[in-house]
């Protein structure tokens, strides 16, 4: 069986998780050839499990010497575009962890480098493999829901204690992470939101920074959005509530889809609301039926995306999560930050990338948080691997 020679940059939680999936035979299309991490303990952990894998301390050593065809980037957020661009320059295929980056200007440059290289470019949006969300997307695309009227996502089950934020110097800082819940926990949901329902056109967001935690970034967000067809939506998220909620609703002419507790229900109107409104002479509401939509159990999404990426490299299979689409969810989160920072409604299609970057740098300069191990590259220079 032909296998893809893969290298991983970053052997922390996510990098080690991908390594485990490969070791367990969940991605038979991949042969792990090299791992890079600045932390000796993390390199040693890889060596003990896979003594034949080549280990590198710096990205420069890795890119110069690793005998690979593709790289999986599992480092802190700022460095994703930096390492991806370097990999494309060297003719490598790239799979990056989420988010695509911290600010859209850098991600746009990454996308341009990907297109110029002609190499395969994927992003680890493993939630796109979940049959529940696949079914929602399928029903909307097939017109079963009719025209969308409203979307709501409440996802407040990201509970993170202070100990979590203290576990890494780069966490929950503007310089190390570039944001909070929107950049760390929610990229999957923001991606799924636009993947299922399309991109909103406007956003007005309200945020609290360090609510109940000794951090400087957002951990409580309420955002209102509008769509081109007049539909509206809400996105509510936090990391300080427990027990939390994860409930997604999308309403349309033909009823309402709800995802909660891993189940999908469709409260389906017998006739469309618009038709009922135009023809009914008795008032009331359309007859509707509550149906539970059967879906398969969620797979190991990380392994599925990596396997799909490998087959895209080896056989030309279509990608489940094209890397070039990573800019979409990041555009939404950048627009949310910009709205909160400027206390205005932001037009997503004409997002002021320069203003966003300027204000992000202002937050970094004025930060009162000083952590010795925060050195994430923000200027496009490869400095270190985490």
The CATH number linked to 24 is 3.40.50.720
Look at residue 383 and tell me if it is in a domain: no
Look at residue 384 and tell me if it is in a domain: no
For residues 135 and 56, membership in a common domain is answered with no
Q: Does pLDDT of 50 surpass 90? A: yes
Look at residue 305 and tell me if it is in a domain: yes
Q: Dump pLDDT digits (tens) for 79-117.
A: 999 999 999 999 999 999 999 999 999 999 999 999 999
Look at residue 358 and tell me if it is in a domain: no
Q: Does pLDDT of 370 surpass 70? A: no
Q: Dump pLDDT digits (tens) for 125-138.
A: 999 999 999 999 99
**Which domain, by its residues, includes 235?**
129-296+329-349
For residues 189 and 284, membership in a common domain is answered with yes
pLDDT at 381: 39
Q: Pick from 326, 323, 328, 321: which is nearest to 133 by CA?
A: 321
For residues 229 and 345, membership in a common domain is answered with yes
pLDDT at 368: 76
For residues 112 and 222, membership in a common domain is answered with no
Question: What's the structural domain count of the chain?
Answer: 2
Q: Are strands 263-269 and 288-293 parallel, antiparallel or unpaired?
A: antiparallel
pLDDT band at residue 28, thresholds of 50, 70 and 90? Answer: very high
For residues 285 and 314, membership in a common domain is answered with no
Strand 218-226's sheet: what is its strand order?
A: 288-293, 263-269, 255-260, 246-252, 148-155, 232-238, 218-226, 202-209, 346-347
Look at residue 368 and tell me if it is in a domain: no
Q: Dump pLDDT digits (tens) for 181-216.
A: 999 999 999 999 999 999 999 999 999 999 999 999
Q: What is the pTM of this model?
A: 0.94
For residues 107 and 66, membership in a common domain is answered with yes
CA-CA-CA-CA torsion for 158, 163, 166, 172, nearest 10 degrees?
Answer: 20
Look at residue 43 and tell me if it is in a domain: yes
Look at residue 141 and tell me if it is in a domain: yes
Q: Which position has the higher pLDDT, 384 or 334?
A: 334
User: What percent of the chain is modeled with pLDDT above 70?
Assistant: 96
For residues 133 and 260, membership in a common domain is answered with yes
Q: Which position has the higher pLDDT, 374 or 56?
A: 56
Look at residue 112 and tell me if it is in a domain: yes
Mean per-residue pLDDT over the chain, rounded: 94
For residues 178 and 107, membership in a common domain is answered with no
* Mean pLDDT computed over 324-337: 98
For residues 248 and 275, membership in a common domain is answered with yes
For residues 200 and 262, membership in a common domain is answered with yes
The CATH number linked to 265 is 3.30.360.10
For residues 278 and 305, membership in a common domain is answered with no
For residues 279 and 153, membership in a common domain is answered with yes
């Amino acid at each position: 069986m032909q296998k893809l020679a893969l290298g991983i940059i970053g052997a922390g939680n996510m990098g080690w998780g991908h390594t485990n999936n490969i070791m367990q035979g969940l991605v038979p299309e991949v042969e792990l050839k090299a791992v890079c991490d600045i932390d000796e303990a993390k390199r040693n952990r890889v060596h003990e499990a896979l003594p034949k894998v080549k280990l590198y301390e710096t990205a420069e050593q890795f890119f110069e010497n690793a005998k690979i065809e593709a790289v999986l980037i599992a480092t802190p957020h700022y460095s994703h575009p930096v390492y991806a661009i370097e990999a494309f320059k060297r003719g490598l295929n790239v799979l990056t962890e989420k988010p695509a980056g911290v600010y859209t200007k850098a991600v746009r440059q990454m996308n341009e480098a990907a297109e110029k290289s002609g190499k395969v470019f994927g992003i680890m949006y493993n939630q796109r493999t979940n049959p529940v969300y696949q079914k929602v997307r399928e029903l909307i695309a097939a017109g079963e829901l009719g025209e969308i009227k409203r979307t709501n996502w409440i996802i407040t089950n990201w509970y993170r204690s202070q100990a979590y934020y203290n576990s890494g110097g780069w966490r929950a800082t503007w310089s190390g992470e570039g944001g909070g819940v929107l950049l760390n926990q929610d990229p999957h949901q923001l991606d799924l939101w636009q993947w299922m329902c399309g991109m909103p056109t406007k956003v007005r967001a309200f945020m609290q920074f360090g609510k109940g935690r000794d951090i400087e970034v957002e951990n409580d967000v309420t955002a209102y959005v509008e769509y081109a067809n007049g539909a509206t939506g809400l996105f509510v998220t936090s990391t300080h509530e427990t027990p939390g909620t994860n409930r997604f609703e999308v309403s349309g002419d033909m009823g309402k889809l709800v995802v909660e507790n891993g189940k999908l229900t469709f409260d389906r109107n017998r006739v469309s609301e618009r038709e009922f409104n135009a023809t009914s002479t008795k008032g009331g509401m359309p007859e509707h039926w509550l149906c539970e939509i059967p879906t398969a159990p969620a797979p190991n999404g990380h392994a599925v995306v990596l396997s799909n990426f490998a087959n895209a490299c080896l056989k030309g299979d279509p990608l489940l999560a094209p890397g070039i689409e990573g800019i979409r969810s990041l555009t939404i989160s950048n627009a949310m930050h910009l709205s909160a920072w400027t206390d205005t409604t932001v037009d997503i299609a004409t997002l002021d990338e320069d203003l966003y970057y300027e204000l992000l740098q202002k937050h970094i300069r004025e930060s009162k948080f000083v952590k010795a191990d925060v050195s994430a590259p923000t200027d496009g220079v490869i400095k270190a691997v985490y």
